[in-house]
Amino acid sequence: MEIAGIDSIDWSAPWLVPFAGLGEAIGRSNDWRGELNSAARERGIVNSRGQPITFAAGDAAADEPYEVFIARTGCVPTRANLHDFFNALVFLQFPGSKAQLHRLQSTAIARDGVRAGRGTVRDAATLIDENAVLLVTLRYDLVQSLRAHDWPTLFARQRGAWGDEVTVLAFGHALLEKLVRPYKAITAHALHVPLAAGASLAQVDQRLAAALDDDLSPQHLMPLPVLGIPAWCAQNNDASFYSDAAVFRPANMRPQKHSGESIE
């Protein structure tokens, strides 16, 4: 079965750089789930219990909570749609972080059960899993500017820092799905990973996985309209792009100090 919508992906988009080669090749395959599993075996990807990750049929978990099923078995239910396909690609590139997110989720469910209010850790884990971008930088001042919604500093005065001193990596699979048809208001939850820009994916994954713990909170996350990122959208070369206050909103409160806000 072909992945629904696979032909609509523009693999040259900047947010797909970490996934493009692998994703385009697997997406063309008639046995795309088998190709995902081959890639997972080659990389030695495992869940938090050390069980090999396998991408299974979409209904594999039956009535068991999704995160609990993955943490218990290593099987990732994967439907033939872009949402689940991007989830699998993120798993292949950030395996340690994905495994840790599912461990946190399954532990919280085991403790609290499945309920309408997820709780702080599950809320944060869900936001990261679905909608995060990783802000890889040692420029704490720019992280503070983002937290303060200081868009002129971020995107005008410090525009040259993007790419050289700040790397942005898409992580959330729902975010990647939305970006197949990009629009200006798409806003991610940015998470600061304090490493030098240009750190390898393996280094980022290791640092992120180590920092995802029971202290995780939505307060670690910052709203970032992703098409404002320099080089992610040609239109943002015009300074007026950022004058849309419905997208580039002012902060509602004074920014907090960066200590404790990055994942250290």
Quick one: pLDDT at residue 117?
Answer: 57
Quick one: pLDDT at residue 252?
Answer: 73
Quick one: pLDDT at residue 111?
Answer: 80
Helix axes 32-43, 20-28, angle to 10 degrees: 140
d(CA 96, CA 98) in angstroms, rounded, equals 6
CA-wise closest residue to 130 among 166, 84, 167: 84
Global pTM reads 0.92
Quick one: pLDDT at residue 115?
Answer: 60
Quick one: pLDDT at residue 100?
Answer: 95
Quick one: pLDDT at residue 232?
Answer: 97
Query: Per-residue confidence of the chain (264 residues) as pLDDT tens digits?
Result: 899 999 999 999 999 999 999 999 999 999 999 999 999 999 999 999 999 999 999 999 999 989 889 999 999 999 999 999 999 999 999 999 999 999 999 998 888 766 655 688 999 999 999 999 999 999 999 999 999 999 999 999 999 999 999 999 999 999 999 999 999 999 999 999 999 999 999 999 999 999 999 899 999 999 999 999 999 999 999 999 999 999 999 987 444 433 334 455
DSSP string, 173-197: HHHHHHTTS--TT-EEEEEEE-S-T
Domain ranges in the chain? 13-120, 126-243
d(CA 143, CA 147) in angstroms, rounded, equals 6
Quick one: pLDDT at residue 17?
Answer: 96
Quick one: pLDDT at residue 246?
Answer: 95
Quick one: pLDDT at residue 260?
Answer: 35
Angle, alpha carbons 129-48-42 (nearest 5°): 90
